Chain A
Amino acid sequence: MPRTLFDKIWDAHIVRPQTAETPAVLYIDLHLIHEVTSPQAFTELRQRGLKVRRPDRTLATMDHSTPTTPRGPDGIIPVVDAQAAAQLRQLEQNCADFGIPLFALGSEYQGIVHVIGPELGLTQPGMTIVCGDSHTSTHGAFGALAFGIGTSEVAHVLATQCLLQNRPKTMEVRVDGRLGRGVTAKDIILAIIARYGVGAGTGHVFEYTGEAIRALSMEERMTICNMSIEGGARAGMIAPDDTTFQYIAGRPFAPKGKAWDEAVAYWRTLPTDEGAVYDRTITLDASELKPMITYGTNPGMGMPIDGRIPTPEELPDPAARQALDKALRYMDLRPGQPLLGHKIDVVFLGSCTNSRISDLRLAASILKGRKVADGVRMMVVPGSQQVKKQAEAEGLDKIFRDAGAEWREAGCSACLGMNDDKVPPGKYAVSTSNRNFEGRQGPGARTFLASPLTAVASAIEGVVADPRRYVG
Chain B
Amino acid sequence: MQPISVITGRIVALPVQDIDTDQIIPARYLKVTDKSGLAEGLFYAWRFDAAGKPNPDFVLNRPEAQGATILVAGRNFGCGSSREHAPWALQGYGFKAVISPYFADIFRNNALKNGLLTVQVDEETYQQLVRHFEEDPTAEVTIDLAAQTVTLPDGRQTRFPIDPFTKHCLLHGVDQLGFLLNEEAAIAAYEASHPARVVTTARS
Contact = CB atoms under 8 A, between A and B. Distances in A.
A328 interface: no
A133 interface: yes
B146 interface: no
A127 interface: yes
A36 B114 CA distance: 18
Contact of A418 (B27, B82, B106): B27
A7 B32 CA distance: 38
Interface in B25-50: 26-28, 30-35, 45, 50
A358 interface: no
Contacts of B176: 152, 156, 164
Interface residues of A, number: 86
A156 B177 contact: yes
Interface string A158-171: 01111110101000
A16 interface: yes
B159 interface: no
Interface in A90-145: 90, 100-101, 122, 124, 126-127, 132-134
Interface in B61-114: 74-76, 79-84, 102, 104-106, 109-110, 113-114
Nearest to A93: B33
A202 interface: yes
Interface stretch (A22-30, A67-75, A398-406, A461-469): A22-30
B61 to A, nearest CB: 17
Given A127-B198, A152-B114, A319-B75, A199 B102 contact: yes
B104 A202 contact: yes
Interface in A226-240: 229-230, 232, 234
Contact of A36 (B30, B34, B190, B201): B30
Contact of A443 (B45, B106, B184): B45
Contacts of A440: 22, 27
A122 B200 CA distance: 9
A435 B45 contact: no
Contact of B84 (A37, A202, A253, A326): A37
A322 B74 CA distance: 11
Given A16-B183, A134-B80, A160-B181, A150 B109 contact: yes
Contacts of B75: 199, 319
Contact of A39 (B33, B110, B179): B33
A83 interface: yes
A152 B203 contact: no
Classify chain B's interface size: 35 or more
Contacts of A435: 20, 22, 80-81
Contact of B50 (A15, A300, A320, A425): A425
B33 A90 contact: yes
Given A90-B33, A156-B176, A122 B201 contact: yes
A134 B79 CA distance: 10
A438 interface: yes
Contacts of B80: 134, 229-230, 435, 437
Contacts of A351: none
A149 interface: yes
Nearest to B102: A202
A65 interface: yes
A293 B165 CA distance: 42
A40 B33 contact: yes
A124 B22 CA distance: 31
A199 B79 contact: yes
A294 to B, nearest CB: 13
A439 B27 CA distance: 9
Contacts of B181: 50, 159-160
Interface string B167-186: 01000000011011101101
Contacts of B186: 15-16, 25
A376 interface: no
Nearest to A22: B165
A90 B31 CA distance: 11
A417 B19 CA distance: 18
A148 interface: yes
B187 to A, nearest CB: 6
Given A30-B198, A323-B16, A40 B177 contact: no
A156 B181 CA distance: 9
B34 A132 contact: no
A274 interface: no
A56 B202 contact: yes
Contacts of B83: 36-37, 150
Contacts of A43: 33-34
A232 B71 CA distance: 22
Interface string A307-330: 000000000000110110010000
Interface of B: 15-18, 20, 22-23, 26-28, 30-35, 45, 50, 74-76, 79-84, 102, 104-106, 109-110, 113-114, 163-165, 168, 176-177, 179-181, 183-184, 186-187, 190-191, 194, 196-203
16 contacts: A12-B194, A16-B183, A21-B164, A25-B186, A36-B30, A36-B31, A37-B84, A65-B31, A87-B33, A124-B197, A150-B82, A150-B106, A164-B176, A202-B104, A234-B105, A418-B30
Given A22-B165, A133-B82, A162-B180, 19 more contacts: A37-B30, A37-B82, A40-B84, A43-B33, A53-B187, A87-B32, A101-B202, A126-B197, A134-B82, A151-B110, A155-B177, A160-B180, A161-B187, A161-B191, A198-B79, A230-B80, A298-B20, A418-B27, A437-B23
Interface of A: 12, 15-16, 20-23, 25, 27, 29-30, 36-37, 39-40, 43-44, 48, 50, 53, 55-59, 64-65, 81, 83-84, 86-87, 90, 100-101, 122, 124, 126-127, 132-134, 148-153, 155-156, 159-164, 166, 168, 198-199, 202-203, 229-230, 232, 234, 252-253, 298, 300, 319-320, 322-323, 326, 416-418, 425, 435, 437-440, 443-444
